[in-house]
Structure 1
Amino acid sequence: MGCTSTIRVALACDQDYLGRAAVTLCSVVLSADPSDVIQAHLMVEEGGQAVARVHVRALEEIALSRGIAFTCEVVTYSSELFEGLPTGFDPGAASIFSTAVYARLLLPRVVPATWRELLYLDCDILVRGSLSPLFLIDLGILPLAACVERYAPTVSAPQGIASWRELGLSPDLPYFNSGVQLMNLSVWREEFIGERAIEYAREMFGQLLHLDQEALNAVVAGRFARLDDIWNATSYWRKRERRATAAMDILDVAIIRHFTGPYKPWERAGLSVPHAEEYRYVESVLRLALGSAT
């Protein structure tokens, strides 16, 4: 028998996005190598644990039918923890997001203390290949590994960190997209990375450009290992001219497809986005398994 690869992955969501989180986890299972051992955590808003466990049973059935070792622990968070935190870009306008965007910042506190790394994934993601290569990365003393945010490659970019000058940051420090993060759990715990990001968001209410992502970048301050864009191919790459100078079409070779922006593959407006058909196939596999799990 060959060597196994342990993949530790986590998602966090409110009840509205629970189904999307399950589809992302399903794509992790469907794209896994036979030697992959998947250990997942699904962090859901209080009140959503019963529905979450139904989805987990369906995912276990899918994994078993494909010979993939898969376990998933459901943990909960209280939205009261994040009261008073910004949930929109304009404090005077209606909220765009829920406080669930901050829940992921507490993941290092709820997964087993023996874990060294954890891969966090947003809920609007399609995984298209084994995630095991990410767990060969030696993060050393860096808090995380992530892809540079192509819309804001540096902290001083218009969509970067609004207060980068006040923080004393160098303008050319790289800025990352937080939708895919390989977390160095010991550093997160020792340096209170998540707690500091939450406090930063609270202090900067009304000034944040990108909520938890900006807060996390402000705390990390460029101290991250840069991943290749195949590990977080965002909707930035939808425009063909942005892919023309690359050696390969990033969307063809993407292992993690991140449907950032307003066009989601489960909505009518996003039916034609790249990889929408793949996403809907994964969704159909999960739906079939849910039918037999309930």
Structure 2
Amino acid sequence: MKQDKIYLVVATDNFYAILLAALLKSIEENHHTPEHIELYIIDDGVSPANKQRIEAQSDRSKTTLHWFKSNEVVPADVKMPLDSSSFPLTSYMRLFSPYMMPPEAEKLIYLDVDMIAQEDISKLWQVSLDGHIFAAVRDIAEIVSCPWGGVPNWKELGMDPDTGYFNAGLMIMDTKRWKEERIGEQVIQIIHDNIKHVNLVDQYGLNIVLANRWLELDRRWNVFAVKNVPDPFIIHYLDIKPIFKSYNSTPAYQEIFYKYLRLTAWKNHKPVSDYRRLARKAYNKTKKKILSFFKR
């Protein structure tokens, strides 16, 4: 009898290849059911050396890795938005992850690379979408009218202020409906149309296009590291990542991250100075400004 497969998608650049290594190891260490994991990696410039490191650590009895260059994922006719944030353009890649899937994949799980799994991913895979186009966890901002998060121009868009607001770092997607309704293209367009209001890149657009069309998951599937939840299924290091000395979220969650990182080629890594983090943010903003200039 053919074993079922679990389809996962992550996106990373070379800077965060270290996070992918820890995430992959945490998924494999906690996966104990027969399904084989098909991990699709959107590669936004991962070096050959880091790619080889990640391949070497992978448990091939549990996981098969599929690498896709970022320019292979986004449809040729899609013009990527150039917002003013420091988030990398890699953030938009998840919108087109269903296009990477083989025909037999009816759904996929998208995970941000800055996560660690503490529960068997098969339990998330078995969640029924119950007719919804996707499932996610409510964000810290809770609702679209949240003054420090949410959708800044919710009123102008005619949205109910109490509309639930989800975090796009973890999503279970219905791949067929996502492609049929061209959700990725819709989100990109809404961002272009409202570029001055865009705060959290594609999460902004997703919460407009798919308002009230999502299944809310148990919050333990996307626990934000700034909180301290006793039994997190997946930890999400939303703010300063645990690889930095300035990490300021729950200390126990940093220890959990390093528990898995020590099982990888980065096992001797110690938290580094904030210089690299700040330099990366500056690089991302500068890259967008340069691209914006040449597209005028």
TM-score by length of 1: 0.81
Quote the residue 2:40 is aligned against: 41
- Deviation, 1:228, is 0.7
Counterpart residue identity of residue 256, structure 2: E
> Structure 1 residues 82, 21: CA separation in 2 closer, same or farther (over 3 Å shift)?
farther
Aligned equivalents of 1:116 and 1:83: distance in 2? 26
How many percent identity over aligned positions?
A: 26
Once the two structures are superposed, the pairs formed by residues 1-294 of structure 1 within 5 Å of their partners are 6-45=5-44, 47-48=45-46, 50-51=48-49, 53-60=51-58, 63-64=59-60, 68-78=61-71, 83-88=80-85, 96-150=86-140, 152-158=141-147, 159-238=149-228, 251-262=229-240, 264-270=241-247, 273-287=251-265
Tell whether the 8 Å contact from 2:81 to 2:191 is kept in structure 1 after alignment: no
> Compared with structure 1, are the counterparts of its residues 288 and 269 closer, same or farther at alpha carbon in structure 2 (3 Å cutoff)?
closer
Q: Distance in 1 between matches of 2:53 and 2:192?
A: 33
Cα deviation code 1:269-294 (max 9, x no counterpart): 2286232112112111111799xxxx
* Greater mean deviation of Cα atoms: 30-39 or 101-110: 30-39
Aligned length: 262
1:165 Cα offset (Å): 2.3
Q: 1:49, 1:75 within 8 Å by CA — same for their partners in 2?
A: no
Aligned to 2:290: none
- Name the Cα RMSD after superposition: 2.5
2: CA distance between counterparts of 1:40 and 1:216?
23
| Structure 2, unaligned runs of 5 or more | 269-296
Q: Is the 8 A contact 1:9 1:119 kept in 2?
A: yes
Aligned twin of 1:245: none
Q: Deviations over 1:242-285 (max 9, x none)?
A: xxxxxxxxx221110111112x2111122862321121121111
- List structure 1 segments (4+ residues) > 4 angstroms apart after TM superposition: 79-84
The residue matched to 2:63 in structure 1 has which SS? strand
Q: CA deviation at 1:138?
A: 2.1
Q: CA deviation at 1:129?
A: 1.5
- The answer for unaligned runs of 5 or more in structure 1 is 89-95, 239-250
Letter in 1 for 2:245: R
Taking the aligned partners of 2:144 and 2:235, their CA distance within structure 1 comes to: 24
Counterpart Cα distance in 2 of 1:6 and 1:35: 9
TM-score by length of 2: 0.80
Equivalent AA in structure 2 for residue 144 of structure 1: F
